[in-house]
């Protein structure tokens, strides 16, 4: 029997970028499906619009740089970026909002830094923050969950509202709950109520809250959790960042809730509201903008979890995911520098 001799590294071939991105997009499907169920067909329209703009923008930049357009588009990174941004904004946001955000994510955050592998910040979250700061009204106009909504938007109505074709349809019309009151996001409602002197118990009595967490958002986060676990099973991501985010957020929220349950919400509310699970499995785990070593990833994830809690509790923005991820992105090189794995054969002393 012949013995094959090969040079190092003696490891199996890693997944190609396009395969990884396809699997990430595939694992987003459960979350997208549940989000579309609770918040209408507008989510799907936003995704289609974002993906179209992302591919066109990336192709245009590659043309200007005299690069291979087909090779760049086939890595599917633009697809994932577009989907992440589309599910992060309100389902009936005007069309120009997702266009501006997608162009900023692809052209400025990604390609201006040299393309995939060179960007410092997560493109989807950087675009989200840009839109939130620039257009706060449009970015906070979420429709009421279908289960408690007074008015439901069909696919045609969603298209008309997003593209502003028929002015008789407006996002505000679909924000009305069963009591005829315009619904804000659960985290925003809670923060507003606490600032007005209400207790968490009084705030949680509103229709937008039900069960373990917020109406609609619990199911959405649970679906993204399922998709994230599938990614772990497929070895698309490693567990360090996701577990660190969830654990650190849980610990911080538990401590606050034990100290003052009238002014702080339960850990489950933090874990299954807003974009927590989306961030833990699909956003923070971006290998380009995260820390690289196992210990570094644990620190990176724990930092995001703590920042999410602090900004949600004491900051001005109800859902702090995007800000927490971007702040951690800035610290990733610092973490990698001080948490470098020891070289094989290194001696610590005599």
Over the chain (350 residues), the average pLDDT of each successive run of 10 is 50 69 93 93 95 95 88 88 94 93 94 85 94 90 77 82 73 58 65 76 74 80 95 92 96 91 85 91 91 92 95 82 93 87 57
Q: Where are the beta strands (DSSP E) in the chain?
A: 209-210, 213-214
Closest to 208 in 3D by CA, of 150, 275, 258, 260: 150
The reported pLDDT for the residue numbered 342 is: 65
Output the DSSP codes for 251-292: HHHHHHHHH-TTTS--HHHHHTSTTHHHIIIIITT-TTTS--
CA–CA separation, 79 vs 302, rounded Å?
28
Q: Where are the beta strands (DSSP E) in 174-258?
A: 209-210, 213-214
Closest to 278 in 3D by CA, of 86, 127, 111: 86
Going from N- to C-terminal start, the domains of the chain cover 16-183, 185-338
Question: Token pair of 188, please?
Answer: 């925003």
Residue 214's H or E segment, with its range, is strand 213-214
Place of tokens 């700061």: 133
The reported pLDDT for the residue numbered 348 is: 53
């Amino acid at each position: 029997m012949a013995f094959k001799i090969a040079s190092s590294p003696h490891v199996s071939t890693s997944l190609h970028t396009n395969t990884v991105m396809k699997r990430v997009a595939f694992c987003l499907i459960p979350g997208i499906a549940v989000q579309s169920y609770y918040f209408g067909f507008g989510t799907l329209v936003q995704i289609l619009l974002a993906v179209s703009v992302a591919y066109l923008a990336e192709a245009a930049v590659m043309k200007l740089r005299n690069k291979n357009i087909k090779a760049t588009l086939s890595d599917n990174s633009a697809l994932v970026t577009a989907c992440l941004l589309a599910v992060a904004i309100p389902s009936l946001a005007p069309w120009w909002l997702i266009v501006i955000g997608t162009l900023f994510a692809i052209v400025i955050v990604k390609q201006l830094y040299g393309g995939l592998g060179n960007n410092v910040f997560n493109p989807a979250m950087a675009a989200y923050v840009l839109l939130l700061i620039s257009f706060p009204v449009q970015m906070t106009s979420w429709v009421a969950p279908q289960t408690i909504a007074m008015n439901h938007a069909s696919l045609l109505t969603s298209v008309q509202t997003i593209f502003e074709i028929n002015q008789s349809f407006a996002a505000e019309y679909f924000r009305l709950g069963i009591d005829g009151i315009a619904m804000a996001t659960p985290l925003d409602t809670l923060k507003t109520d606490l600032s007005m002197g209400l207790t968490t118990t009084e705030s949680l009595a509103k229709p937008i809250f039900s069960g373990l967490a917020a109406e609609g958002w619990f199911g959405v986060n649970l679906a993204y959790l399922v998709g994230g676990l599938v990614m772990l099973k497929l070895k698309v991501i490693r567990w360090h960042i996701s577990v660190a985010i969830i654990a650190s957020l849980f610990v911080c929220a538990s401590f606050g809730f034990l100290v003052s349950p009238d002014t702080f919400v339960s850990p489950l509310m933090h874990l299954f509201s807003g974009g927590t699970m989306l961030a833990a499995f699909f956003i923070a785990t971006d290998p380009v903008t995260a820390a690289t070593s196992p210990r570094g990833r644990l620190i990176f994830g724990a930092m995001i979890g703590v920042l999410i809690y602090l900004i949600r509790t004491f900051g001005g923005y109800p859902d702090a995911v995007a800000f927490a991820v971007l702040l951690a992105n800035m610290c990733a090189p610092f973490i990698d520098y001080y948490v470098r794995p020891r070289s094989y054969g290194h001696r610590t002393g005599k």
